[in-house]
Copies of this chain bind each other. A is one copy, B any other.
């Protein structure tokens, strides 16, 4: 392949490694919808899209391409929100992992499971449930996102407060490096201090250091007792106090603690016909609490009711409902999940997936509302997300403008500057869950020291000296 760059020659080379029908032309890939991300953006045009069925095929493909300096773009479920699978301008090959989707049988009581990286998250959740186990990662895209993608992006979601992010759930990993070498680190050990823990390098690296082909993931005892509540609360400071009190009282049984502000809840109630508010008057904030326990937690629901009664009494909460059935619990959770699809009714909007230290969240909310009102009195601030993790989705909405009303991106840049400035002042992160991908490279550079960025680049160069693994992500080309 050296020196050649025509798609036809690349396709021919790929078909020497994988079967013909698993090498798709750009047109075929496009026709089948593989080249559009969930934000509706076209990813670009690869020379071809390859669908390997084994680690050895992935390795052979990578080796062949890297020798010729042809970029490799790994593709998971294509649900990323940071442009992590955008195709570079030069001839590149997409490697889709979707055909490598096996799940090892799960014996009774197993504490881990080996999976192929193309496995869809919801399928793994189901397989775990069928074996009376729990795989706790849960997020909006779980029906189509793949395990490899959730590892490459260190996905978070609604249960991270208790179980951590994907990083905390990975015990072992198999990775194909740019030059085709296979790192087999498929160990299922809870403790292992034999040299550097390389797997953590690949988790969250957005496919820029290698392609994840398999993983060993942690499993947990299934949940047998649950309780869900929604609490009306007057300000973010009270919600933090409630979170702290809940953790003192219930420890790790607090699986989720989600905040939704009034403007976000109003949008759901207006645009989602299935949504019902449990409160007559719209509160400034609601907090959604999920407690999950084991057989020793028979009294969990009663304990939660009694706990919230004391919080109402002392005035920390203004109102509270505890779900009396699983359908009531689902109705409360629906208010949270519906946020993803009603935001398109919010006009021109700019989303920020930020995190700040847990204790700083109330001050962060106050500062965002004040700063945005100062610069754009017409804007609506919507804040919701994972209060337990300090991870608040912050959406600055201009209801009187259409999403297309910022063609030059000038408003976006100004809004970004305001939010990023506040986030940095609190020692936060401008991308808590979604990663850098290709969309947020400028914001990484603006918010990290040059020493840190240089250390990242040194790692990249050490493992992928010719920059063939997903180039243009995390770092500028």
Identify the closest chain B residue to A443 (Cβ).
Answer: B194
* A154 lies within 8 A of chain B by Cβ: yes
A191 and B447 CA atoms in complex are apart in Å by 15
- Contact partner of A196 (CB less than 8 A), chosen from B153, B164, B427, B474, is B474
A27 CB–B CB distance under 8 Å: no
**B-side contacts of A184, CB under 8 Å:** 449, 451-452
The interface size of chain A toward B, counting residues with CB under 8 Å, comes to 93
* A364-389 with Cβ < 8 A to chain B: 386, 388-389
Residues of chain B within 8 A (CB-CB) of A428 are 187, 189
Q: A440 — which chain B residues lie within 8 A by C-beta?
A: 194
Q: List 7 A-B contacts (CB under 8 A).
A: A187-B427, A188-B357, A190-B389, A193-B204, A195-B448, A221-B247, A458-B462
CA distance A164 to B451 in the complex (A): 29
A328 at the B interface (CB under 8 A) = no
**Nearest CB in chain B: distance from A294 CB, A:** 4
Question: In the assembly, what is the distance between CA of A235 and CA of B343, in Å?
Answer: 58
Are B456 and A198 interface neighbours, CB within 8 A?
Answer: yes
Q: Is A110 an interface residue (CB 8 A)?
A: yes
Interchain CB contact under 8 A, A463 and B453: no
Closest to A182 in B: B451
Kindly state whether residue A185 has any CB partner on chain B within 8 Å: yes
Per-position 1/0 for A439-472, Cβ under 8 A of B: 0100110011101110110111111000000000
Which residues of chain B are within 8 angstroms of A159 by Cβ–Cβ distance?
Answer: none
Q: Find chain B residues with CB under 8 A from A315 CB.
A: none
- Beyond A109-B359, A185-B452, list 13 extra A-B contacts (CB 8 Å): A160-B191, A186-B427, A187-B429, A189-B390, A192-B355, A192-B432, A193-B432, A194-B429, A195-B436, A195-B452, A197-B204, A250-B296, A251-B296
A51 to B429, alpha carbons, bound, how many Å?
34
Measured in the bound complex, the distance between the Cα atoms of B35 and A413 in whole Å is 57
Residue of B nearest to A451 (CB): B181
Complex: how many Å from CA A189 to CA B355?
7
| Contacts A185-B452, A253-B296, A296-B303 given; does A429 touch B390 at CB 8 Å | no
A203 touches B194 (CB 8 A): no
Cα A284 to Cα B85 in complex, Å, equals 56
Q: Does A125 contact B (CB under 8 A)?
A: no
